[in-house]
C-alpha cells in the first residue's frame, strides 16, 4: 500500500491498492466465474450462480 500510494502515475479510480468505486456485484460475479471454472475443470460440471443486488451500487 505504501509503495502504491507513491506511484508516479496512479491508475484512475484507485488509491494505492484500494478501488474507489468498487462494485460488490462485479466482485461477486468474478468470484463466481472463477469458482465455476475450477469446478468445470476439476469435476466436469458447475452449479449456476445467481447474484442479487443493485448492479449500480458502488462503494464510495
CA distance 60 to 17: 15
Can you give the pLDDT at residue 42? 98
> Looking at the DSSP assignment, which residues form a beta bridge with residue 19?
14
pLDDT at 58 over 80: yes
Residue 59 lies in a domain: no
Distance CA 9, CA 21 (A): 18
Residues 6+ apart with CB under 8 A from 5: 15, 16
Domain count, the chain: 1
In a domain, 58, yes or no: no
Say if pTM beats, i.e. exceeds, 0.75. no
Range of the domain at 36: 2-43
Please say if the pLDDT value at position 1 is more than 60: no
Dump pLDDT digits (tens) for 9-52.
777 777 777 778 889 999 999 999 999 999 999 999 999 999 99
Grid coordinates representing 17? 491498492
Give the pLDDT confidence score for residue 4 in this predicted structure: 62
In angstroms, how far is the first alpha carbon of the chain from the final one?
A: 19
Amino acid at each position: 500500500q505504501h509503495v502504491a500510494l507513491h506511484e508516479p502515475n496512479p491508475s484512475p479510480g484507485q488509491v494505492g491498492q484500494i478501488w474507489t468505486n468498487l462494485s460488490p456485484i462485479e466482485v461477486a460475479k468474478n468470484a463466481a466465474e472463477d469458482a465455476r471454472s475450477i469446478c468445470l475443470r476439476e469435476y466436469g460440471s458447475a452449479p449456476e450462480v445467481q447474484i442479487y443486488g443493485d448492479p449500480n451500487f458502488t462503494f464510495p
